[in-house]
Amino acid sequence: MNGYTGKILRVDLSEGKTWVDEMPESFYRRYLGGNGFVAYYLLHEMPKGVDALGPDNLLIFGTGTFTGLPIAGAGRSTVGAKSPLTGGYGSADVGGFFGAELKQAGYDGIVVHGKAPEPVYLWINDGEVEIRDASHLWGKSTLETQETIQEELDDKRVRLAMIGPAGEKLVRYACVINDLRHAAGRTGTGAVMGSKNLKAVAARGKARVPVADQEKFRELSRWMVENWKDQHWGMHDLGTPGGLMGLNAMGALPTRNFQDGQFEGAEKITGSTLRDTIMTGREGCYACPVRCKRVVEVHEEGMDIDPIYGGPEYETIGSFGSNCGVDDLKAISKAHEICNATSMDTISAGMAVSFAMECFENGLLTTEDTGGLELRFGNAEAMVALTQMIADREGLGDLLAEGTDIAAAKIGGSASEYSITVKGQPFPMHECRTRHGQGLGYALSPTGADHMHNFWDDGMANEPLGETFQELGVYEALPRHDLSPGKVRAYMYGSNWQWVHNHLGNCMFISWSRDQMANIVSAMTGWKTNVWELMRAGERGVTMMRAFNMREGLTRDDDRLPLRMQSHFVSGSVNEEPIDPEVLEEAKETFYAMMGWDPETGVPTEAKLQELDIAWVADQLK
Amino acid sequence: MNGYTGKILRVDLSEGKTWVDEMPESFYRRYLGGNGFVAYYLLHEMPKGVDALGPDNLLIFGTGTFTGLPIAGAGRSTVGAKSPLTGGYGSADVGGFFGAELKQAGYDGIVVHGKAPEPVYLWINDGEVEIRDASHLWGKSTLETQETIQEELDDKRVRLAMIGPAGEKLVRYACVINDLRHAAGRTGTGAVMGSKNLKAVAARGKARVPVADQEKFRELSRWMVENWKDQHWGMHDLGTPGGLMGLNAMGALPTRNFQDGQFEGAEKITGSTLRDTIMTGREGCYACPVRCKRVVEVHEEGMDIDPIYGGPEYETIGSFGSNCGVDDLKAISKAHEICNATSMDTISAGMAVSFAMECFENGLLTTEDTGGLELRFGNAEAMVALTQMIADREGLGDLLAEGTDIAAAKIGGSASEYSITVKGQPFPMHECRTRHGQGLGYALSPTGADHMHNFWDDGMANEPLGETFQELGVYEALPRHDLSPGKVRAYMYGSNWQWVHNHLGNCMFISWSRDQMANIVSAMTGWKTNVWELMRAGERGVTMMRAFNMREGLTRDDDRLPLRMQSHFVSGSVNEEPIDPEVLEEAKETFYAMMGWDPETGVPTEAKLQELDIAWVADQLK
Residue pLDDT, tens place only, A424-434: 999 999 999 99
Beta strand pairing call for B120-125 and B198-204 = parallel
Mean pLDDT (whole number) for A303-311: 97
C-beta atoms of B30 and A470 within 8 A = no
> Do residues A492 and A532 both lie within one domain?
yes
Range of the domain at A178: 7-204
B-chain CB neighbours of A514 within 8 Å are 530, 532
A513, A527, A531: residue with CB nearest B531: A531
Among A26, A470, A594, whose Cβ lies nearest the Cβ of B1? A470
Q: How confident is the model at residue B487 (pLDDT cuts 50, 70, 90)?
A: very high
Q: Do B528 and A613 touch (CB under 8 A)?
A: no
pLDDT band of residue B497 (cuts 50, 70, 90) is: very high
Given B426, B444, B464, the domain boundary residue is B426
Average pLDDT (B271-298) is: 97
In A443-598, the DSSP E strands lie at: none
Q: Are residues A501 and A588 in the same domain?
A: yes
Digit-coded pLDDT (tens) for B309-320:
999 999 999 999
Provide the residue type at A294 as one letter: R
Are the beta carbons of A596 and B599 separated by less than 8 Å? no
Q: Do A608 and B590 touch (CB under 8 A)?
A: no
Distance from CA of B481 to the nearest CA of A (A): 19
Mark yes or no for CB contact B528/A464 under 8 Å.
Answer: no
- Using only C-alpha atoms, what is the Rg of chain A? 22
A412 and A534 together in one domain? no
Q: Is A108 helix (H, G, I), strand (E, B) or coil?
A: coil
B515 and A492 in contact by Cβ < 8 A? no
Q: Which of A126, A128, A121 is nearest to A152 (CA)?
A: A121
Q: How many CB atoms lie within 10 A of CB A289?
A: 14
Q: Do B421 and B440 sit in the same domain of this protein?
A: no
User: Sorting pLDDT into bands at 50, 70 and 90, what band is A456?
Assistant: confident
Other CB atoms within 10 Å distance of the CB of residue A465: 19
Which of B475, B485, B613 lies closest to A610 in CB terms?
B485
- DSSP-derived secondary structure letter, B598: -
**Which chain A residue has the Cα nearest residue B27?**
A475
DSSP codes, B128-192 = EEEEEE-GGGTT--HHHHHHHHHHHTT-TT-EEEE--HHHHTT-TTB-EEETTTEEE-GGGHHHH
pLDDT of residue A1: 66
Q: What's the average model confidence in pLDDT over B541-569?
A: 98
Contact call for A485 and B596, based on CB within 8 A: no
Partner residue opposite A1 with nearest CB, options B1, B470, B513: B470
Residue B594 to residue A613, Cβ atoms within 8 A: no
Searching chain B, which residue's CA lies closest to the CA of residue A471?
B529
Nearest CB among B485, B492, B613 relative to A615 is that of B485
Strands of the sheet containing A128-133, edge to edge, are A128-133, A120-125, A198-204, A159-162, A176-178, A182-184
Cα separation, A208 vs B272, in Å, equals 52
- Residue B441 placed within a domain: yes
A178 in a domain, yes or no? yes
Tell me, what's the pLDDT at B453?
A: 83
- Chain B residue nearest residue A610, CA to CA: B485
Residues of A in contact with B518 (CB under 8 A): 515, 530
Instruction: Answer whether A1's CB lies under 8 Å from A29's CB.
Output: yes
In-domain check, residue A2 = no
Across chain B, mean pLDDT equals 97
B160 lies in the same domain as B83: yes
Instruction: Answer yes or no: is pLDDT of A182 > 80.
Output: yes
Nearest alpha-carbon partner for A358 in A301, A410, A420: A420
Q: pLDDT band for position B573 (50/70/90)?
A: confident
Quick one: average pLDDT of B563-580? 94
| CATH code of the domain covering residue A422 | 1.10.569.10
The Cα–Cα gap between B73 and A197 comes to 63
Q: What are the tens digits of pLDDT across the range A391-400? A: 999 999 999 9
Chain A nearest C-alpha distance from B512 (Å): 13
The verdict on A178 and A258 lying in the same domain is no
Please indicate, yes or no, whether the overall pTM of this predicted structure exceeds 0.80: yes
Q: Which residue in chain B has the smallest CA separation from A611?
A: B489
Give yes or no: residues A114 and A147 share one domain: yes
Band (A112; pLDDT cuts 50, 70, 90): very high
Nearest to A530 among B531, B590, B599 (CB): B531
Q: How far is B492 from B471, CA to CA, in rounded Å?
A: 14
A305: region left, alpha or beta (phi > 0 left; psi from -120 to 50 alpha):
beta
Residue of A4, A26, A471, A495 for testing the chain B interface, max B β-carbons within 10 Å: A471
Percent of chain B with pLDDT over 90: 96
Contacts of B529 in chain A (CB under 8 A): 470-471
Q: State whether B514 and A531 contact (CB < 8 Å).
A: no
Average pLDDT over residues A162-167: 98
Give residue-wise pLDDT tens across range B328-344: 999 999 999 999 999 99
Chain B CB contacts of A472 under 8 Å are 532-533
Residues A265 and A181 in one domain: no
pLDDT of residue B458: 83
How sure is the predictor about A574, in pLDDT bands with cuts at 50, 70 and 90?
confident
Lowest mean pLDDT among A81-85, A383-387, A449-453, B496-500: A449-453
End-to-end CA distance of chain A: 33
CB of A569 within 8 A of CB of A251? yes
Contact B52, B84 (CB under 8 A): yes
**Closest chain A residue to B476 measured between Cα atoms?**
A26
Count of structural domains within chain A:
3
- A211 is a domain residue: no
| Whether the Cβ atoms of residue A179 and residue A157 lie closer than 8 Å to each other | no
Which of B246, B582, B602, B247 is closest to B432 using CA atoms?
B247
**Inter-chain CB proximity B607 and A615 less than 8 Å:** no
Q: Which of A394, A421, A395 is nearest to A408 (CA)?
A: A421
A307's torsion region: left (phi>0), alpha (psi -120 to 50) or beta? alpha
Contacts of A536 in chain B (CB under 8 A): 473
Candidate from B471, B536, B613 with C-beta closest to A528: B471
CB pairs under 8 A between A and B: 139
Inter-chain contact B471–A529, Cβ cutoff 8 Å?
Answer: yes
Residue B599 reports pLDDT greater than 90: yes
Q: Quick check: is A141 in a domain?
A: yes
CA distance B494 to chain A (A): 13
Quick one: which of B251, B179, B172, B168 has its CA closest to B435? B251
Average pLDDT score over chain A: 97
Q: Do B464 and A492 touch (CB under 8 A)?
A: no
Contacting residues of B for A515, CB less than 8 Å apart: 515, 518, 530
Residue B38 has pLDDT above 80, yes or no: yes
Q: Which of B426, B458, B493 is the last residue of a domain?
A: B426
Would B299 be classed as within a structural domain? yes
Residue A63 has pLDDT above 70, yes or no: yes
Asked whether residue A365 falls in the same domain as residue A509, the answer is no
Residues in chain B closer than 8 A to A476 (CB atoms): 26
Does residue A11 form part of some domain?
yes
Q: Of the residues B401, B426, B451, which one is the last residue of a structural domain?
A: B426
User: How far apart, in whole angstroms, are the C-alpha atoms of residue A142 and residue A177?
Assistant: 8
Task: State whether A422 and A509 are in the same domain.
Answer: no
Residues B487 and B388 in one domain: no
Look at residue B427 in the predicted model and tell me its pLDDT.
Answer: 98
Which of B467, B492, B529 is facing A528, going by the closest CB pair?
Answer: B467
> pLDDT digit string (tens) for B371-390?
999 999 999 999 999 999 99
At A201, is the secondary structure helix, strand, or coil?
strand
- Please give the pLDDT value at position A3: 80
Which CATH number is B161's domain given? 3.60.9.10
Between strands A182-184 and A176-178, the pairing is antiparallel
Best residue in A465, A472, A489, A533 to probe B by mutation, most B CBs within 10 Å?
Answer: A533
Contact list in B for residue A593 (CB cut-off 8 A) is 596, 605-608
Contacts of residue A212, defined as CB under 8 A and 6 or more positions apart, other chains included, come to A2, A4, A523, A524, A525, A526
Q: What is the pLDDT of residues B156-202, one digit of tens each?
A: 999 999 999 999 999 999 999 999 999 999 999 999 999 999 999 99
The residue type of A57 is: N
Which of these, B131, B145, B130, lies nearest to B178 by C-alpha position?
A: B145
CATH number at residue B600: 1.10.599.10
Length of chain A in terms of residues written: 622
Q: Which of B488, B590, B613 sits opposite A489 (nearest CB)?
A: B613
- Answer yes or no: do B198 and B314 share one domain: no
Of A464, A536, A596, the CB nearest to B473: A536
* Ramachandran category for residue B568: left, alpha or beta (phi over 0 → left; psi -120 to 50 → alpha): beta
Contact A531 B528 (CB under 8 A): no
Mean pLDDT of A188-207: 98
- The pLDDT value recorded for residue B1 is 66
Residue of B nearest to A587 (CA): B607
Residue A218, domain member (yes or no)? no
* Separation CA B355–CA B404 (nearest Å): 7
The answer to whether B489 contacts A513, with C-beta atoms less than 8 Å apart, is no
